[in-house]
Amino acid sequence: MTGRTGDEPFIAAVKPLVDAIGGEMLPPDEAGPDDVVLSWEGADVVAVRLPQLADSLDHLLAALERQQGRPLSELDRKAKQEVVRSLEARGAFSVRHGVETVASALGVSRFTVYNYLNREKGS
């Protein structure tokens, strides 16, 4: 993926961020119009293909599951509320069917997710 000697440290530095957002790194000459091309020292080094919003929510849920060390549906109520707060802060519920997707991952009803969201707004 590198076109110049010395690009590897830059690519290694941005890789955790790209992974965290669920993006994909590719050579800059393969970038499409919606990709973000990153430059270093005046030259294009790597392109980042951003995920679709729906894919981002799945990526967020998978990351939270890895962080918790078990399926989200196995968490207790308080932990599920914290997950909902975290997802709300990251805009997860602006995605179409976001509430349904989160409810399914948590093993709760949509009504319960709305209750968690309303509880957060009321406090």
Q: What's the rounded Cα separation, in Å, for the pair 84 and 77?
A: 11
Percent of the chain predicted with pLDDT > 70: 90
pLDDT at 26 over 60: yes
DSSP-assigned states of every residue in 26-66: E-GGG--TTSEEEEETTEEEEEEEPPPHHHHHHHHHHHHHH
Phi and psi at residue 36, to the nearest 5°: -105, 120
pLDDT on residue 65: 94
Tell me if residue 18 falls in helix, strand or coil: helix
Mean pLDDT of 34-52: 91
Average pLDDT over the chain, rounded to whole?
Answer: 88
Mean pLDDT of 14-39: 91
pTM given for the model: 0.64
pLDDT digits (tens, 9 = 90+) for 72-95: 999 999 999 999 999 999 888 988
pLDDT at 120 over 60: yes
pLDDT at 2 over 50: no
